[in-house]
Structure formats: structure tokens, C-alpha cells
Structure 1
Amino acid sequence: MCNLSLCKPKVPTVTIKSRQWKHVNPTEVFRDIGSHLANLEVDHDCLDSYVSQYESTVSDILDKYAPWKTRSVKVRTEVSWFNDDIRTARKICRQLERKWRKNGKLAIQRQEYRNQCKVVRNLINQAKIIHYSSQVQESSGDQKKLFKIIGLQLTSTM
């Protein structure tokens, strides 16, 4: 017998670097930059060295107040049936979930959240039905296209 390894491929990830600016006090940063820039040695003959000193000083100060954070993000391809209605419904659903969790998990807020989840599921199902029905209709005369569409659906659900 033959042994086939049929596992899903791993979703590729991208590493993103960003600074957390939310809790930085701009007046402190500007004051710190001003005090450090006053101590820079200005060489009027070499502007490049002054610019590099300025860049390194500002970079060091920013690292002090808002250091770089790295995180990994999964890269997902956009599916063709996903539309703006689903995007906004999902956004509302996430907002309701945060509200429910923040306010002590009240029953009425949970019910609003669950109802919005149902709306999102129904929108997704309807969008998929419309999309794949149109694809099947377009390829009704071409067996190869039809089996390719069906094959892609079968492999994506495994």
C-alpha cells in the first residue's frame, strides 16, 4: 500500500515591526529631543554627519519612549465571495463581543452578540451560494471547469 500525507499547507506569516504610540506623551518626547539636539556638535562643512547624528539621536529617543514591537501576522488570500456587507457585519459582531466581555457579560448583550453572529453566518452562506452558483452556471458546458470548481471546494474543506 501507499501512504499519502494529506495535511493542510501552513498559512504563511509575515513579521511586522511597529511602535506603540498610544501611551507616549509628545511633550516629553519633544523636550527630550530638544535637549539632545542642543548638545549636538554642528560641523558646517559636513552636513551629512550632522544629519546622521540627528537621525541617530531621534531614533534613540523614540526607542526609549516607544520601542519597536514585532509580531507575526498570518497572510490570508482574499476570497472572491467576501464582500463589504460581510466585512461591516463582522466588525459590528466584534464590537458587540468586546462590549459584552467588558460590561460583565450581561445576558442581553450576549444575546445581541449571538444574534449578530447569526447575521454574519447567514451573510457568508448567502454570499457563498450566490458565488458558487454563478461559477457553476458559467461552466455548465465545460466539464473540466466544473470539476475544477468542485475539486477546489472539496480540497479546501478537508
Structure 2
Amino acid sequence: MKYIWKKSSPKARLAFTAGIEHLTAILTETFLRKPEILESMSPEVRDLFLWHSVEETEHKSVAFDVYHQIGGDYATRALMMVYGVGGFIGSIMYFQTKLLREDSSRFNLKDYIKGVNYFFGPRGKLLPAIPKLIDYFKPSFHPNQHDTEALLTQWRDQLFGIEGALKAQLLS
């Protein structure tokens, strides 16, 4: 990804950013719709993750809108999304391998396959994100075509109090 970033124009980098913003928005939307995915997290980490998911979903179209405002084209947008998804998957694999090397006693192939199946198997928790990822490659696509307003309202009510302050149970 560093090579692509270094060799790309500022407009192409913005297209890349818009693609990554869409990717994170659809993943965090999936987490907000299926919070059971996060059950294994400690309550503090889960609450932080849910808060961040709301934040990512709220600004899902900002980079996309700026890209189009400055005359960004479809081909660059689509190509940079391909690079972004590839880089995202590659980064996950790299860091997972690095962590396993540091503590190989924790690696268990059966559990690894079970985890991959949990997210990407026939009833995988992240499968609902795939059609939304593919939508990005439609020339007429805009992130706001994925309506998340009711979902955001639900989670804002659960996570935030008056004037957007975190509710007390999230601060303890």
C-alpha cells in the first residue's frame, strides 16, 4: 500500500481514502446490526468499539463527497477501492501472522478455521457486508444509499446522554 500511496496523485489518494471509509462503514454497520459479534470483548473494549462504529457510520460519505466535488472519476474510485480492499486484507493477514509468531503457543488450526468460518462461512457474521462492498463498484453509487439513520439513532440513544456525552456506564 505504501507504494501505491507514494506513486498516486492526491486525487487518487482521496479515492483510496473514500474506499477505505466505505469499507470501514459497512463493517461497523455490520457490527452495529449484529452486536453479538462483539460478545467476546471485555465490556470496556466493546463499548469503545461500539462508540467508534457509530462515529465511522456517521461520516461514511465525507471523503466520497469531497472526491466527487473535486472532479473524481469512477475508474480511479473503483481501482483505488480494489487496492484498498487488498491492502486491508493483506494488513490483517500480516499482523495476525506477526502476533502468532510472537506467541505460537496460542495458535490452534482448528480454532483458526472456526474463527474464519464464524465471520465468512455459510452463515458468517460479515457476509451481509459483501453486497454493500460490491455496491461501491456501481458508477451511480453513493454511500448514503445504504440508509443507516434508524440504526444510528438506536445506538446514539443507547450510548449517549444529554448533548452527546457518553452515558455513565460507559465511563466506568
Give the TM-score, by structure 1 length. 0.31
- Whichever of the two has the greater Rg, that structure is 1
Greater percentage in helix: 2
